[in-house]
Chains A and B, each alone.
Chain A
Amino acid sequence: MKVLYFAWVRERIGKAEEIVEPPPSVRTVGELMRWLRSRGEEYERAFERPVVRAAIDQVHVKPEAVIAGAREIAFFPPMTGG
């Protein structure tokens, strides 16, 4: 599945997007975040603060959201537009 990162999440990981294949045991957004954290120090740093938010197919979701069928999952800090 395609994963996108924005703002300081993107900077800490060092890339704007990537294709990942988490194991089947990873079922929710929160579990995906925990799995990503296990992939290296840069991911650990990106997700160390509990404020990172997520969107599935461009719609805001909570950590309990199921990722099955998602085309695009994005992680980003709280928004600061306007």
Chain B
Amino acid sequence: MSAPPSAATAPVTIRLQREDFDVAREIAALTAGRSDIGAVVSFVGLCRKGEGAEAITAMTLEHYPGMAEAEIRRHVDEALVRWPLTAVTVIHRHGRLVPGDNIVLVLTASAHRQAAFHGAEFLMDYLKANAPFWKSEERAEGARWVEAHARDDEALTRWRS
């Protein structure tokens, strides 16, 4: 799929990696040398420990290499068409993570805050429902694959109007 015309001027960084990321460093990289950015919204998803019997000791994120990058790119391109974003960064980790670890980072930049807020929220809603990643959680009684939530699909409906 080719990028829409509006995407041509907005730098897009997409990385899938085992390593952690540094939010401040990624924001600095996004805004370096730019004087047209008035707002940067950051979303960081973290690994939660859960509660009581549901507590997890770790989770492993499996992904579909190639398709994961392509799906993220497709959604970033759509966000660039829908809002006047001037830069986007998406980093998604894979492999084994423990509670407190970062999982995903979305940065959206724009001249004004509203586009940045909307773009970040749109990207997270779409990535959760469509990007090929799967979580397996480790608990005292063993490992279990996380079931998809209907609410993640429902979250998409508000963007369809």
| Chain A residues within 8 Å of B, Cβ to Cβ | 4, 6-8, 51, 55, 58-60, 74, 76-82
Contact = CB atoms under 8 A, between A and B. Distances in A.
A82 B43 CA distance: 10
Contacts of B124: 82
Interface string B114-146: 000000000010011111111110000000011
Contacts of B62: 6-7
B47 to A, nearest CB: 12
23 contacts: A7-B62, A7-B134, A7-B145, A8-B134, A8-B145, A55-B64, A58-B67, A58-B70, A74-B64, A74-B132, A79-B133, A79-B148, A80-B134, A80-B147, A81-B61, A81-B63, A81-B104, A81-B132, A81-B135, A82-B45, A82-B104, A82-B127, A82-B133
Nearest to A51: B148
A58 B145 CA distance: 22
Interface of B: 45, 61-64, 66-67, 70, 92, 103-104, 124, 127-136, 145-148
Contact of A80 (B67, B70, B135): B135
9 nearest A-B pairs in the assembled complex, by CB-CB distance? A81-B133, A78-B148, A7-B134, A58-B67, A82-B128, A80-B146, A80-B135, A8-B145, A81-B131
Of B92, B103, B146, which is in contact with the most chain A CB atoms at under 10 Å from its CB?
B146
A74 to B, nearest CB: 6
